[in-house]
Structure 1
Amino acid sequence: MLGNTLIMKKLIESISWKTLSSHSFVVLLLAFIALLYFNPLLSGKVLLQSDIQQYKSMSRQMKEAREASPPVETYWIDNSFLGMPTYQLGAEYPADFLMPFYYITRILPRPAHLLFLYFLGGYLLFSVLGLRRTYAIMGALSFGFSTYLLIILQVGHNTKAEAIGYFPFVLAGLLLLLQNKRLMGWLLSTLALGMQIRANHYQMTYYLLFLLFIFGLVYFWEAFKKKDVNNFLSQIILFASAGILALGLNATPLLATQEYTQFSTRGPSELRMQPNGTPKENTSGLDYNYITQYSYGLFESFSLLFPRIQGGGSREDVGTESSLYYYLIGRGVPVQQAASFVSAVPTYWGDQPILEAPAYIGITIFFLALLGFRSSRGPLRKSLILVIIVSLLLSWGKNVPWLTNLLIDYFPLYNKFRAVSSAQVLLELCTPILAVWGLAQFFDKEKQEQIKILRGTSIVFGALVLSLFALKGMLSFQGAMDSYLRQGYGNAIFQQIVETRKSLYNQDILRGMIFIFGMAGVLYLGSREKLKSKQVLGILFILVIADLLQVAERYMDRDLFVSPRLARQVFVSSAADRTILQDKGHYRVYDSDAQLKSPRTAYFHHALGGYHGAKPRRIQEVYDFFMEYRAESILNMLNVKYILYKEEDKQKVLVNPQALGIAWPVDSLVMVKDADTELNYLKELDLSRQAVLQAGQLPNDFIPPHSIDSSFNISLVTNYPNKLTYQYEIKRDQFVVFSEAYYQKGWKAYVEKKEVPIYKVNFLLRGLWLPAAAKEIRFEFQPPVVRLGTQIRWGSLLLFFISLGGALWYDNKAKR
């Protein structure tokens, strides 16, 4: 108790109430701006985020369990992919001591709370850099209003947005430590790293590690030159201890994710053969082509400054004043149809398969960043430039194969992540820092030095604009996906689309040139003392925000704000769904059109498909091998009783009477040496009577079955995602296959309350040896990783308070 009192007293004494009230006003202002940007939320509407709707379908059973009486946290769902853990579906774990900090931003409705998080982190970071309030607000808004960070909110990449939102908090903590503000730096680093990891988007955490490593390397070199290495090492040790505590406070989700990864499409495969019979590349993660499918193009990088230089997004609204619109009208296309077409023109011609919007950071921000680069010195500038370069190289993916191959082959966990283009999130952070911090450095220069720096910056950007205009004649304005467009629209319309791309190219370069002239002109007037510094800063502030918001508004779809009632009706049951739902039995539904990508089906039924970036690996492999060859027997084995298909744009249902049900006995077991053989045997066996499993699972004294007991009867008595209870009757011992996913880490089987082994059969199902005398079977999902993680969390919390108390005591003693 005395220790807690000392901690609180010390923290209260460190607060400047005048400073606190000043910062509180800014925080409220930033919250208001976040709400104002998403102003439909104020009228009670909600944003319809596509990824969140898909998540809702996948997490339906989790929600139902939490709303049950009493509420239960299930760590397993079986309405998708034959069943999977909820570790990457928003599972809530015991002892989540960071949860209160999450709710600080959640005072605002979604997604305004995440925009507020961007702003709050940016403001804190720029304040730590010692910038005045106006600069800090400008920096916060410059970071938060970048197009990419807004678009991921629109589509529902909430965990990614949250993970990115904590980047500036983490960097602020590190910089405080490097400024020898050790207590506040350590405390902020611990909480910021903890919250960043808690956001549960480990790809973003991985990129953050690149940033931290580069900063550490640069500042170490500076300390080495100043012969201050010991002090630097003590700062880094404190930061590392904060990182260890942050990991400990997130032990459960980290351990659970690490465990599940081995069984997901992000982990290593047991198979050594491809579906076509060719040898399979032995990797411990994702396929190279899948990892690099979304790679930023080299020329496409200019879209960071000129958003539509390579067409913008995959569906651009070019307007009814465009030449394309008049071309369509001139060819007799009805006005309404022509207007609809020009509202979503496929103008993007870059390297990526599809693009929601360009990752525009701002021509004004880049102008100020170059100005800042020329105005500043020191380790911060070096760190920012290196991070920007590395970020760009990482995002280029397959376009810089020497680097990407090196990372995939030798960097731990790098092959678990896809969409390498998202590495440019580090650019999203570091470029505004260099711009706004550098601008403050620029204003500290003598007027003649300002003119010199401004002249050089303007020449560089002028040369860039002229070069891009000159380059236009050498560009094809055609992309990787254009063969489909030409085939779908015909050559005449396709050529008009190409002309539209050229027009957008010109428009955005001219737009950028206007902003460059505006920025340069205002700064020149300031350096000539025609405008006061506050006036210059105010005008620059307006130009930056106008630049960012103008582009962001092209891609923010305000029609996605709908009433809560309409949002709840996104998944509307069809007549086919309602027909299936009349059957109260336990079965699965397969959507033959959506195949494994069927979140809608998972919302209403126990679906074979679903939607997830890390689906269970075995169901994907079975699909790849069999859904075009002998699909019927596989569907039967997986208890698919109903198959959805489309006919004349209407969803129909086909009943599969051959589905094998919840469980069935077999009269022979085929033992094989490896997974490839096991999978291939599924092509040959009568799966209603035979089962295949890998050697080594069964005990030496196991007596294989010889016949099927015709009296076998089984029923599912209780059906919860994490607990299944069966009643069965047989006259003699039988080996029984269950149409449930095999997952060895957590599932336990009990026959008459006695634990029995679960065997992996038919590549992905469960098998049990059932004695004739028993009557009840119970499957329960009891993941040990949750218990272990909870214990580590409690230990980490205790260590955190011991460390904090010790630091305060030591600081108090030193001052005496």
Structure 2
Amino acid sequence: MPRELFKKILPHVGVLAVFLLTVAIFCRPALEGEQLNQHDNVSWKGMAQNAFEYKAAKGHFPLWNPNLFGGMPNYQIAMEGKSILPDLIQLFSLGLPKPMNFFFLACLFFYFLSLSLGASPLIGATLSLAYAFSTYNPVIIAAGHDTQMIATACMPLLLAGLILLYNKSYWIGLSVTTLGAYLLIAANHLQITYYFLLIAIILTLSFAFSWINNKEWRHLGLAAFFTLVSAFLAIGGNALILWTSAEYSKYTMRGGKEVSITADAVKSTQTAGLDTSYAFEYSLGNRESLTLLLPNAFGGGHSRNLEEGSPVAHKLIAAGIDEGSAEQLSQSLPQYWGKLPYTAGPAYVGVLLFVLGTLGFFINRGAISTSMLAITLMGVFISWGKNFPVFNLFLFEYLPLFNKFRAPSMAQVIPQLGLAVSSLLLLNNIIQEKISLFTKKTMTIVGSLFGCLFLLWLLQDYSAPIDEQLLNAYTDKNGSDQLARSIIAGLQETRSNLFGEALLRAILLTGLLGGLLWAFTKKWLSTTGAMGLILLISTAEILAVSHDYLDQSLYLSAEEYGASNFTPSQIDQEILKDKDPNYRVLNLATSTFNDAKTSFFHKSVGGYHAAKLRIYQDVIEKYFNAGLNQGILNMLNTRYIIVSDPNSGQQSLLNNDQAYGNCWLVSQLVTAPNKAEVLKKIGTITLSDTAVIEQAHYKGPLNYQRDSSATIALTKFDNDTLTYAIKCNSPQFAVFSEIYYPKGWNAYLDQKLISHHAVNHILRGVELPAGEHAVQFIFEPESYKKGTAIMNASSYLILLVVIGGLAMGWRAKLKRHTK
């Protein structure tokens, strides 16, 4: 290797070594073979287990999953459809174990962004570590939101590609934009991808105004062309994911609904997207965005309770409660006092990112800085959800696709990126001595920031949503609320203390980092010395906070992980003795419709998935939320019901001998004018002999002759192919205890395509002629076939563009150097 090239590469190799060392220290148990016990990942393994067992036996994943919510597509669970491209995420993350791979990937891609913005390796390393270990990342990793973390890690790479393109590095920009867009979409977290689309639009508009003002029409055209090429290739390379998801989403809770269900009424309606109450459930409180700078100001997360010797305990003792009882009660109360119904932790980005990023919004110039300010404000406003209704209800109603997503607090990844880029630009300018940091303007900004926070600490209301619950819970039967008010007063004092301590911490760290930059401007520290110390201090402080949310207690050995999550209970073992596996289990001993562990072992009536079929959700809301309906359980072929004693928690198994089985014949069809009426009727009739169908979708006979000698039975169950044998002396109508989904399921009678119908709101029905026949249902969605073809063709083009773009960019660079 030429000496000059080695000298250029060496700093970057050193930076990568720093990244590896940092993630190894932070994720040490992963190096020892332990794995994170993540709730959502455990749930995914539960819902995907059937697919993996199928693949082990058949060599490929099935497209239909029968083990949750009666059956649903496997598209967002475990779908066959590997691209010809290698696993680039694993490649870029060096095959590191989870969660080391996530942090390293975020460091690597942000480092590339920093280089594209002209930063030195030390500055790039400092800001990359700050971005990767911003506390929201460990929080979502601990919860098991792996795809969200991968998408968050990929955002800087795509941003780097767009900036290169817009700064006229066309070939390299085309290559990186195509790669970044492909990886971001392939991460398969559509909400983060959607948020980045909003970021990209704002960035593009910011640059476009400049190009138009300067009449750079050729550059405008080239930038638009290359951006569109990258977008089309990335979409094409992910056509299978996008096409199947787009098709499926129309039939899920995210696609709107045709039935409105309240406690007293079931009515027809027509909506698009999620209900606002559901979509905005996880809305951040307006002041909670301050946790970007003050991590513990709102108590951290719901899992943190008050510590020993808290103000609550002192006030309870003063009110006459003995010390032991006072401590016991106080330590059962949560520190968190924000507005989220549940949170595992804050979205702290570190003092360096927040303070320098905020200063950068006032000092930096250019399209990038302007767009970063805009996206940061946008992300904060979106994260407030229902707590900023003027803004968010407008977006919900009028911004395309916005109403398909929930959990507005997830938008905190946007200011995380915006502040990181803004602080990178400012720090780079400071170190290159292009600007002076210590001016009257900057001192005024920083002073105003902390002055306002100080006043907020002194004057703000420290009440919280939980206070009213505590007031009701601890008011005695005589109406005395003295105990309750002592608790609330102690909690409010605790909250004030938490806010004040977080503010003091931020002030001290700002002073320390500011002092290092002051020493640099006075030439008391070299560039390397100043940046080395800033890297150490900023990384250490954010790692200290992030470690609270992803510590060693969350790791388990492989044996412990399997034993604690996937060991069948005695009841599971009892059910599995059934030699006929084609039945369903209703588990009432857990949160039935937020549980995927049951799906690990059985075909479950319940399940856990963010996008269940809308028609199934209708049945849950109508017939499960307020009790059980025997007919509904029977038509779903619910053979076993797991219950638990409310006092002891002891689980027991109930056999449901009335279940109708996999299929049955009915003598009568009842029509209804719409889905709402269908849903109401199925709870009032005998479903073993009668089926309900929407009249607009059925023109056949309503009555069928009873045939006591007729038989129908399931003869083969193969996920994507179901085969039944039918023998009858007269025409019959069969109902199948399989979930109706129109996009892909085809019915065949003796290998000839026939129509099938939605009956009983969620099941399938078929008209059958007299005689002996074979009926088959085959899941063969066109979206899968065509999506696979487009994906494969696009993958070759992506390889060509990425490699060709890099080669052309390198060639152009060599030409410039030889001139």
1:625 is aligned, of 622, 625, 634, to 622
User: SS of the counterpart of 2:255?
Assistant: coil
Q: 1:796 to 1:488 in 2, by over 3 A?
A: same
| Structure-1 separation of matches of 2:583 and 2:277 | 35
Which letter does structure 2 place at the counterpart of 1:138? T
* Contact 1:374 1:453 (8 Å CA) reproduced: no
Runs of 4+ more than 6 Å apart: 325-330, 446-449, 804-816
- 1:457-468 aligned within 5 A: 457-468=445-456
- 1:181-330 aligned within 5 A: 181-271=169-259, 274=262, 276-277=264-265, 282-316=270-304, 318-320=306-308, 322-323=310-311
* Contact 1:194 1:250 (8 Å CA) reproduced: yes
Residue 7 of structure 1: aligned partner: none
Residue 390 of structure 1: aligned partner: 378
| Structure-1 separation of matches of 2:9 and 2:536 | 27
| Structure-2 separation of matches of 1:596 and 1:168 | 36
1:483 is aligned, of 460, 463, 468, to 468
- 1:725-736 aligned within 5 A: 725-736=723-734
Residue 125 of structure 1: aligned partner: 113
Query: Is 2:573 the counterpart of 1:578?
Result: yes
Which letter does structure 2 place at the counterpart of 1:40? P
Residue 480 of structure 2: aligned partner: none
* Bigger mean CA offset, 316-325 vs 806-815: 806-815
| Structure-1 separation of matches of 2:434 and 2:767 | 85
* Bigger mean CA offset, 322-331 vs 409-418: 322-331
Query: Is 2:83 the counterpart of 1:95?
Result: yes
Q: TM-score, normalised by structure 2?
A: 0.91
Residue 541 of structure 1: aligned partner: 535
| Structure-2 separation of matches of 1:31 and 1:90 | 30
User: SS of the counterpart of 2:592?
Assistant: coil
User: SS of the counterpart of 1:266?
Assistant: helix
Describe the superposition over 1:124-150 as per-residue Cα deviations: whole angstroms up to 9, x where unpaired. Answer: 100111111000100110101100011
Residue 680 of structure 1: aligned partner: 680
Residue 744 of structure 1: aligned partner: 742
Percent identity of equivalent pairs: 31
Residue 279 of structure 1, CA deviation:
5.1
* Contact 1:163 1:196 (8 Å CA) reproduced: yes
Which letter does structure 1 place at the counterpart of 2:49? R
Q: 1:359 to 1:100 in 2, by over 3 A?
A: closer
- 1:283-682 aligned within 5 A: 283-316=271-304, 318-320=306-308, 322-323=310-311, 342=331, 345-445=333-433, 450-452=438-440, 454-471=442-459, 474-475=460-461, 477-487=462-472, 491=484, 492-569=486-563, 570-585=565-580, 586-593=582-589, 594-627=591-624, 628=626, 631-647=629-645, 648-682=648-682
| Structure-2 separation of matches of 1:117 and 1:283 | 39
* Contact 2:635 2:660 (8 Å CA) reproduced: yes
Aligned length: 796
| Structure-2 separation of matches of 1:313 and 1:438 | 32
Residue 409 of structure 1, CA deviation:
1.1
* Contact 1:381 1:434 (8 Å CA) reproduced: yes
User: SS of the counterpart of 1:481?
Assistant: helix
User: SS of the counterpart of 1:686?
Assistant: coil
Which letter does structure 1 place at the counterpart of 2:30? L
* Bigger mean CA offset, 397-406 vs 23-32: 23-32
Residue 321 of structure 1, CA deviation:
5.7
Q: 1:93 to 1:16 in 2, by over 3 A?
A: farther
Which letter does structure 1 place at the counterpart of 2:573? R
Q: 1:806 to 1:250 in 2, by over 3 A?
A: same
2:41 is aligned, of 26, 36, 52, to 52
Residue 235 of structure 1, CA deviation:
1.5
User: SS of the counterpart of 1:423?
Assistant: helix
Describe the superposition over 1:462-499 as per-residue Cα deviations: whole angstroms up to 9, x where unpaired. Answer: 4134323332xx41x22223334455577254543333
Residue 65 of structure 2: aligned partner: 77
Residue 421 of structure 1, CA deviation:
1.6
User: SS of the counterpart of 1:718?
Assistant: strand
* Contact 2:304 2:334 (8 Å CA) reproduced: yes
* Bigger mean CA offset, 37-46 vs 231-240: 231-240
| Structure-2 separation of matches of 1:807 and 1:526 | 40
Describe the superposition over 1:203-238 as per-residue Cα deviations: whole angstroms up to 9, x where unpaired. Answer: 111110111111111111222232223213311220
Q: 1:18 to 1:745 in 2, by over 3 A?
A: farther
Residue 80 of structure 1, CA deviation:
0.6
Which letter does structure 2 place at the counterpart of 1:498? Q
| Structure-2 separation of matches of 1:281 and 1:757 | 27
Residue 724 of structure 1: aligned partner: 722
Higher RCO (CA-CA < 8 Å; seq separation 6+): 2
* Contact 1:442 1:450 (8 Å CA) reproduced: no
Q: 1:603 to 1:339 in 2, by over 3 A?
A: farther
| Structure-1 separation of matches of 2:433 and 2:91 | 43
Describe the superposition over 1:676-701 as per-residue Cα deviations: whole angstroms up to 9, x where unpaired. Answer: 221122133211111111124445xx
Which letter does structure 2 place at the counterpart of 1:257? S
Residue 273 of structure 1, CA deviation:
5.8
* Bigger mean CA offset, 803-812 vs 721-730: 803-812
Query: Is 2:771 the counterpart of 1:773?
Result: yes
Q: 1:614 to 1:312 in 2, by over 3 A?
A: same
| Structure-1 separation of matches of 2:135 and 2:406 | 21
Query: Is 2:156 the counterpart of 1:158?
Result: no
Residue 729 of structure 1, CA deviation:
3.4
Which letter does structure 2 place at the counterpart of 1:766? R
* Bigger mean CA offset, 579-588 vs 480-489: 480-489
* Contact 2:26 2:543 (8 Å CA) reproduced: no
* Alpha-carbon RMSD: 2.8
Query: Is 2:12 the counterpart of 1:23?
Result: yes
Structure 2: state its 5+ residue gaps.
475-482
Which letter does structure 1 place at the counterpart of 2:20? A
Residue 408 of structure 1, CA deviation:
1.1
User: SS of the counterpart of 2:253?
Assistant: coil
| Structure-1 separation of matches of 2:294 and 2:208 | 36
* Contact 1:724 1:780 (8 Å CA) reproduced: yes
| Structure-1 separation of matches of 2:55 and 2:542 | 41
Residue 4 of structure 1: aligned partner: none
| Structure-2 separation of matches of 1:798 and 1:564 | 38
Residue 24 of structure 2: aligned partner: 35
Residue 804 of structure 1, CA deviation:
6.8
| Structure-1 separation of matches of 2:128 and 2:576 | 50
User: SS of the counterpart of 2:593?
Assistant: coil
| Structure-1 separation of matches of 2:49 and 2:29 | 27
Residue 180 of structure 1, CA deviation:
1.6
* Contact 2:202 2:371 (8 Å CA) reproduced: yes
Residue 479 of structure 2: aligned partner: none
Q: 1:798 to 1:511 in 2, by over 3 A?
A: closer
Q: 1:16 to 1:720 in 2, by over 3 A?
A: farther
* Contact 1:96 1:249 (8 Å CA) reproduced: no
Residue 552 of structure 1, CA deviation:
1.3
Which letter does structure 2 place at the counterpart of 1:579? E
User: SS of the counterpart of 2:152?
Assistant: helix
* Contact 1:274 1:280 (8 Å CA) reproduced: no
Residue 478 of structure 2: aligned partner: none
| Structure-1 separation of matches of 2:661 and 2:361 | 68
| Structure-2 separation of matches of 1:714 and 1:331 | 70
